[in-house]
């Protein structure tokens, strides 16, 4: 009888250990990595989650994971998200995390964006938002009007920066968040400055987008902005190369030709006076503020310096501008830059 009792104890102990290891033993294996991310799309069920985990080879024992998941009622509580998982997590820890819905936020940064398609692509690559649906929204006249813009100015809504999002953010939620950020950015002080210079917030963004393409030099930005504001105030055409490059669809062009200036486009500021219909990029905060705080001067012209330093030569008269322009053109010729 003693031997039988001993056998029963051994079996019970083995069963208890197996049960304990099923629940509390390490089961998440990240193959040398300390952490990784598990992405569970919106609308997923338990079979989907199990398939994703197996595809990524995140666990050692599928049977124990599913056994614990059933007993913790996770099958009916699947929540989408981007979850930070740790190597060596037990099934208990892993499933508790997934049941909690405690996502790990991510940083979304967008800068140097020129088109709606570029923006939609970047957002779609980082968030669950669908890039095609986002692009459709940005091109929807009724939606733009609802947001207080039109199809051309809707891009003014997006202020380049780094923002924290949950991965499950969809296209509609993304735009709503950007609308809040836009409202916060355009505070009373900035709106007052825009009004003082006779511009709407959209006008400021459009002009800033041109300044952004004209120079990367912080010191030059408010001066360039001042040139364009002087030209606007005198009802002169802006003659801005970047708007013409935008109309052509090629920002790599280094040398515009006279025939380019005949292009029929509302973005051709050699042909049409005033600001173009919308921004030609998403200007940085620094550039928007450079327009709001532009330098008051008499310059009406500028062109890139012939030393290719990135700075500009400014002129109050067309005669002086021609001198500056010829220096730059001579350097283009010397470097054999035709286009």
pLDDT in tens, 155-169: 999 999 999 999 999
Separation of alpha carbons 197 and 193, rounded Å? 6
| pLDDT at residue 197 greater than cutoff 50 | yes
The C-alpha atoms of residue 38 and residue 105 are separated, in whole angstroms, by 12
| pLDDT > 60? residue 6 | no
Higher pLDDT, 4 or 330: 330
Q: What is the pLDDT of residue 209?
A: 98
Query: Beta partners for 83?
Result: 38
Average pLDDT, the chain: 91
Tokens found for residue 284: 């940085």
Measured distance CA(25)–CA(334) in Å, rounded: 72
Separation between Cα atoms, residue 298 and residue 316, nearest integer Å: 6
| DSSP 8-state class, residue 163 | E
> How many CB atoms are closer than 10 A to CB 293?
13
Q: Could you tell me if 256 and 271 are in contact, meaning their C-beta atoms sit under 8 angstroms apart?
A: no
Asked if residue 261 lies in contact with residue 163, where contact means CB atoms within 8 angstroms, the answer is no
Q: What 3 state SS string does 186-242 have?
A: CCHHHHHHHHHCCCCHHHHHHHHHHHHHHCCCCCCHHHHHHHHHHHHHCCCCCCCHH
> What is the per-residue pLDDT for 322?
87
Which of 53-62, 105-114, 197-206, 307-316 is least confident? 307-316
Q: Is the pLDDT of residue 17 over 80?
A: no
Position 64 pLDDT exceeds 70: yes
- The confidence score (pLDDT) of residue 161 equals 97
What's the confidence (pLDDT) of residue 339? 63
Is the separation of the CB atoms in 262 and 271 below 8 Å?
yes
The average pLDDT across 252-276 equals: 91
Please say if the pLDDT value at position 30 is more than 50: yes
Total residues belonging to the chain: 339
Contact 108, 126 (CB under 8 A): yes
CA distance 242 to 240: 6
pLDDT for res 272: 94
Any idea what DSSP says for residue 105? P
Whether the predicted pLDDT of 8 surpasses 70: no
| DSSP calls for 30-87 | -TT-SEEEEEE-TT--HHHHHHHHHHTT-BS-HHHHHHHHHHTTGGG----EEEEEET
pLDDT of residue 317: 94
pLDDT band per the 50, 70, 90 thresholds, residue 40: very high
pLDDT given at position 18: 59
pLDDT score for 7: 39
Phi, psi of 304 (to 5 degrees): -65, 145
Q: Read off the tokens for 239.
A: 């003659």
Cα 129 to chain center, whole Å? 12
């Amino acid at each position: 009888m003693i031997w039988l009792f001993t056998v029963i104890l051994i079996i019970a102990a083995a069963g208890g250990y197996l049960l304990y290891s099923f629940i509390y033993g390490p089961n998440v294996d990240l193959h040398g990595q300390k952490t990784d991310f598990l992405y569970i799309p919106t609308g997923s069920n338990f079979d989907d989650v199990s398939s994703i985990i197996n595809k990524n080879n995140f666990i050692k024992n599928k049977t124990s994971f599913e056994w614990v998941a059933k007993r913790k009622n996770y099958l009916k509580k699947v929540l989408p998200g981007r979850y930070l998982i740790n190597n060596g997590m037990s099934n208990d820890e892993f499933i508790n995390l997934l049941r909690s819905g405690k996502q790990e936020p991510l940083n979304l940064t967008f800068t140097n964006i020129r088109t709606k398609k570029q923006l939609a692509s970047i957002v779609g690559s980082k968030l669950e938002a669908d890039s095609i649906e986002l692009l459709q929204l940005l091109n929807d006249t009724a939606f733009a009007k609802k947001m207080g813009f039109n199809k051309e100015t809707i891009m003014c809504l997006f202020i380049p920066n780094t923002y924290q999002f949950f991965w499950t953010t969809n296209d509609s939620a993304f735009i709503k968040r950007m609308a809040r950020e836009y409202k916060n950015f355009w505070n009373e002080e900035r709106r007052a400055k825009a009004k003082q210079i006779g511009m709407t917030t959209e006008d400021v963004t459009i002009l800033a987008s041109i300044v952004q393409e004209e120079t990367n030099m912080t010191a030059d930005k408010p001066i360039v902005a001042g040139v364009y504001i002087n030209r606007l105030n005198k009802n002169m055409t802006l003659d801005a190369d970047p708007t013409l490059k935008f109309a052509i669809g090629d920002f790599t062009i280094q040398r515009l030709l006279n025939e380019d200036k005949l292009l029929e486009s509302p973005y051709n500021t050699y042909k049409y006076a005033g600001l173009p219909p919308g921004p030609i990029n998403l200007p940085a905060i620094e550039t928007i503020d450079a327009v709001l705080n532009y330098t008051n001067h008499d310059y009406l012209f500028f062109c890139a310096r012939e030393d290719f330093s990135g700075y500009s030569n400014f002129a109050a008269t067309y005669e002086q501008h021609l001198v500056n322009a010829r220096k730059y053109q001579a350097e283009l010729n010397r470097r054999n830059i035709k286009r």
